[in-house]
Structure 1
């Protein structure tokens, strides 16, 4: 029989600079007075109170630059090459902070596999090799980079970790989700783009997956791709950074996809058979759509809403912030995790808490 796979521990990390109110004011400053009022009203409904960035904000949100270093100057925001250089400096630091939170100690030398996900930056040598050097991992560790999949990449990372552990019960898999979303700030007067950017924060999670309980047992996975709606959420590399399209139609599309595929996602169970919900908080309206689609009680998504409130949307790292809360739950509970991203894609999984 194949071994079961368990998430043993999850550590979370964010940078030092809290930026939410600054970015709201900076974004509003790019709009005419009438549209500014609309923006402020809509942004105020987002359910976010704080977000964090690797880059210190400027002193004045209506001043000549968005950041203290003067890299994001009005009228002369950096191009993609400069942003990737910034990623190369910031991402390893935040990734190490996440892995250090696991307190691996002597376990670091026994890690057999390293999986890293990111969609906000690229470089080679990359995050995987940086982590080997910074965190004392074996040089021969088997490395896999999961790149540019967006917010649902963490669940794909867990899926791969489960395959590894089930094929090799001695494996110890380190999964790192590292995203520097604020790096892709845009200068624009498009209301929808500005509202989209008001969701994003930087964050990292690190998780240890092995065949040894206790922990969260990874039970099964199911993917849904709504090809007919693929243009509602896209993530493209442009000359001036990465460009996110996040249509206002996304919540309704997610609601429809979940309603039509509820049986496959939950293994034929009704929603009230699920004790724990680890839903990627892509935004308040996304969580509202999940709640409506599955007819959940308001308390069901409290962990997701709390992560959104405290950190915003950190792309692939976000659902793992929610999963970290699931590790605190009593043993014997059945849970469902899900994340959404470009495609329009929903990656879902079932899990159990095991003491």
Structure 2
């Protein structure tokens, strides 16, 4: 039984900063060592990012208390508790707003129709979990089933979509709401290590929602979820990971990650292509998680992907940075909104996360009939 993404909605915090501004503030606050400042300048200038959104109130004109970058030139290092308190406050608001917008932008689904809510986040925790907040604030049926995927990182939208597809296959009337939300910026670390500086240069805040049902939309573009695959790159566990410390989550994004992904790509997507007797040339669109510019460059080089095929990923990276689990949904939305030359076009979607795990999905972009 097929399942379809009816709509994808995206929400970001109102506050955003240019990448050049953030580069200069990091040089100002992190270290006065010439070598470190040169590294920061190079990383930020070559990131492929123009701006990023954040819930952090620093540098605005409202006079809000600063969280990290103090006016006296020092860098505050909040505790994990303080960071999670900010996460709880801001995430509750954004989860509800994203869910509301997703439902309102899906004409074929009403609030009372939602049977399952799957929430995804790896940047903070609170209980009752986010789906409870969504159900309470939006007045969804109290019988709505709730699920939460946590601490899976940038690839977590894929397990959520697989869960939703299974629910639709098991329950023909299922209408599944997924909301992925990440507030990565609250975990900035005052570290001069290259891996931490790379993490600080790409991660940002944002949320995305989608509704999956068995019904094929007839008025708007949609995606049919065809099949998924999962692969783990061996001996790469420490190159993309994070731990919970006393001063937030310590995220590691090794400089080796792009090469590890490149070395494991072909074998990771082979099952999808084999099952449907496809070749790389049969893929019309590529929806790649833009974990960083170097990752996109390596994938493009590995498969000889045309610039136009990768432009949705590069555009999302430039305008939003890496929002962890929500980012691939921004890419899929960007692609969904673009004109199609055919009634049905193949899409290969991929995301990369801790493990190092490579999640991929074969989708069909369908025009309304």
TM range (shorter): over 0.9
What is residue 320 of structure 1 aligned with on the other side? 329
Q: Whole-Å Cα distance in 2 between the matches of residues 265 and 235 of structure 1? A: 29
Q: How many residues align?
A: 347
In the TM superposition, residue 186 of structure 1 has moved relative to its aligned partner by 1.1
TM-score normalised to structure 1 length: 0.93
In the TM superposition, residue 18 of structure 1 has moved relative to its aligned partner by 0.5
In the TM superposition, residue 236 of structure 1 has moved relative to its aligned partner by 1.0
Q: Which moved more, 1:329-338 or 1:303-312?
A: 329-338
Q: Whole-Å Cα distance in 1 between the matches of residues 309 and 258 of structure 2? A: 18
Contact 2:268 2:358 in 1 (8 A): no
In the TM superposition, residue 301 of structure 1 has moved relative to its aligned partner by 0.7
Contact 2:269 2:360 in 1 (8 A): no
Q: Whole-Å Cα distance in 2 between the matches of residues 198 and 276 of structure 1? A: 27
In the TM superposition, residue 189 of structure 1 has moved relative to its aligned partner by 2.0
In the TM superposition, residue 37 of structure 1 has moved relative to its aligned partner by 2.2
Q: Whole-Å Cα distance in 1 between the matches of residues 16 and 55 of structure 2? A: 9
Cα 1:44–1:252, aligned 2, differ >3 Å: closer, same or farther? same
What is residue 82 of structure 1 aligned with on the other side? 82
Cα 1:265–1:287, aligned 2, differ >3 Å: closer, same or farther? farther
Aligned CA-pair RMSD: 1.8
Cα 1:52–1:75, aligned 2, differ >3 Å: closer, same or farther? closer
What is residue 24 of structure 1 aligned with on the other side? 23
What is residue 192 of structure 1 aligned with on the other side? 195
What is residue 216 of structure 1 aligned with on the other side? 223
Contact 2:43 2:201 in 1 (8 A): no
Structure 2 unaligned segments of length 5 or more: list them: none
What is residue 164 of structure 1 aligned with on the other side? 167
What is residue 341 of structure 1 aligned with on the other side? 353
Question: SS where residue 9 of structure 1 aligns?
Answer: strand
Q: 2:39 aligned with 1:38, yes or no?
A: yes
Q: Which moved more, 1:324-333 or 1:3-12?
A: 324-333
In the TM superposition, residue 262 of structure 1 has moved relative to its aligned partner by 4.2
What is residue 124 of structure 1 aligned with on the other side? 127
Q: Whole-Å Cα distance in 2 between the matches of residues 264 and 204 of structure 1? A: 30
Equivalent residue runs for 1:142-157 within 5 Å: 142-157=145-160
Please list the CA deviations of residues 1-45 of structure 1 after superposition, one character each: whole Å capped at 9, or x if unmatched: xx2100000100100111234432222121212321232123101
Q: Whole-Å Cα distance in 2 between the matches of residues 84 and 175 of structure 1? A: 22
In the TM superposition, residue 275 of structure 1 has moved relative to its aligned partner by 0.7
Q: Whole-Å Cα distance in 2 between the matches of residues 112 and 52 of structure 1? A: 31
Q: 2:234 aligned with 1:231, yes or no?
A: no
Q: Whole-Å Cα distance in 1 between the matches of residues 307 and 332 of structure 2? A: 18
What is residue 183 of structure 1 aligned with on the other side? 186
Please list the CA deviations of residues 32-91 of structure 1 after superposition, one character each: whole Å capped at 9, or x if unmatched: 12321232123101100010001222259xxxxxx9422325354111111111111000
Question: SS where residue 176 of structure 1 aligns?
Answer: strand
Structure 1 unaligned segments of length 5 or more: list them: 61-66
Q: 2:68 aligned with 1:69, yes or no?
A: no
Please list the CA deviations of residues 178-219 of structure 1 after superposition, one character each: whole Å capped at 9, or x if unmatched: 111101011122233122211011000010100111221000
